[in-house]
Amino acid sequence: MVKPWKFLLCQMAMNMFYHVVKASLCLGGHDIFAAVRENSPTGQFIANLNIKGDPGANSIRLCLTGENSNWFFLDGQTIRLNSSSTRPLDRESQGSVIMAALSCYEEDTVQSQYRIMVEILNENDNMPVFMEETIQPIYISELALVNTVVFTVKAKDLDGDTITYVIDQASPDASYFRIDLPNSGKVVLDKPLDYESKNQLEVDIYAVEMNTREKNNVTAMLTVNVLDGDDQYPFFLPCAPISKDQVHSICTNPVYTSNITEDEEDVILNFAPGPIHAEDGDKELQEPLFYTILSGDDHGRFIIDNQTGEIMLTMRVENRLLSPLYRLRIMAAQKNDPRKFTVATALVHVQAENRFPPHFNRTTYKGFVIENSSPATLVATYGNQVLLVQAIDQDFKDGVNPRLVYSLQPNTKLYHITPEGVLVAKTDHLQAFDRHIMEVVAMDQESGEITHATVDVEVLQKGQPVPRSQFGEERLFGEMDAKIAGGIAGVIVIIVLAALFVLVQLLRRRHDRQDPVDRGSVALGKHPNVEVTSPPPTRRRS
Ligand SMILES: *[C@@H]1O[C@H](CO)[C@@H](O)[C@H](O)[C@H]1NC(C)=O
Ligand SMILES: *[C@@H]1O[C@H](CO)[C@@H](O)[C@H](O)[C@H]1NC(C)=O
Ligand SMILES: *[C@@H]1O[C@H](CO)[C@@H](O)[C@H](O)[C@H]1NC(C)=O
Ligand SMILES: *[C@@H]1O[C@H](CO)[C@@H](O)[C@H](O)[C@H]1NC(C)=O
Ligand SMILES: *[C@@H]1O[C@H](CO)[C@@H](O)[C@H](O)[C@H]1NC(C)=O
CA atoms within 13 A on the CB side of 229: 14
Q: Which ligand is nearest to the CA of 204?
A: 2
542 occurs within a structural domain = no
Least confident of 186-190, 317-321, 334-338, 531-535: 531-535
Mean per-residue pLDDT for 448-457?
A: 93
Shared domain for 364 and 483, answered yes or no, is yes
188 Cβ closer than 6 Å to some ligand 2 atom: no
Say yes or no: CB of residue 7 within 6 Å of ligand 1.
no
CATH number of the domain that residue 89 is part of: 2.60.40.3430
Measured in Å, residue 191 CA sits from the centre of ligand 1 at 60
What residues pair up with 157 in beta bridges, in sequence order?
128
Rounded Cα–Cα distance for residues 41 and 484 (Å): 126
Ligand in closest contact with the CA of 324: 5
Segment 4-31 mean pLDDT: 52
Residues 506, 424 share a domain = yes
Do 456 and 487 share a structural domain? yes
Q: Residue 214's domain is classified under what CATH number?
A: 2.60.40.60
Q: Are 376 and 483 in a shared domain?
A: yes
Q: Residue 481 above 60 pLDDT? A: no
Examine the pLDDT at 182 and tell me if it is beyond 80. yes
What is the pLDDT at residue 494?
A: 55
Clarify whether residues 136 and 106 are in a common domain: no
pLDDT tens string 267-317: 999 999 999 999 998 888 899 999 999 999 999 999 999 999 999 999 999
Whether 340 has a pLDDT exceeding 90, the answer reads yes
Contact 439, 364 (CB under 8 A): no
What is the average per-residue pLDDT within 95-124? Answer: 91
Candidate from 292, 306, 331 with most ligand 3 atoms within 8 A of CB, to mutate: 306
pLDDT at 114 over 50: yes
The single-letter DSSP state of residue 85 is: S
Q: Please name the residue whose Cα sits nearest to atom 6 of ligand 5.
A: 448
List the one residue out of 369, 478, 385 whose CA is nearest residue 429.
Answer: 369
Handedness of CA 495, 496, 497, 499 (dihedral sign): positive
* pLDDT tens column, 188-228: 999 999 998 899 999 999 999 999 999 999 999 999 999 99
Of 475 and 82, the one with more pLDDT = 82
Average pLDDT for 38-55: 90
pLDDT of residue 54: 82
Residue 451: domain span: 359-518
Q: What is the mean pLDDT of residues 395-400?
A: 85
Q: What is the mean pLDDT of residues 397-423?
A: 90
Q: What is the pLDDT of residue 55?
A: 80
Q: Does 70 sit in the ligand 1 pocket, CB within 6 Å?
A: yes
Q: What percent of the chain has pLDDT over 70?
A: 81
Is residue 240 a contact partner of residue 252, using CB atoms and an 8 Å limit?
yes
- What's the pLDDT at 435? 92
Q: Whose CA is nearest to atom 8 of ligand 2?
A: 217
Task: Answer yes or no: is the C-beta of 390 below 6 A from any ligand 4 atom.
Answer: yes
pTM equals 0.54
Cα(361) to ligand 4 centroid in Å equals: 6
Q: Are 375 and 507 found together in one domain? A: yes
How many structural domains are present in the chain?
4
pLDDT band at 14 (very low <50, low <70, confident <90, very high): very low
pLDDT-derived band at 58 (thresholds 50, 70, 90) equals confident
Question: How far does the chain reach from its first CA to its final CA, in angstroms?
Answer: 126
Sheet holding 186-189, edge to edge: 149-152, 186-189, 177-179
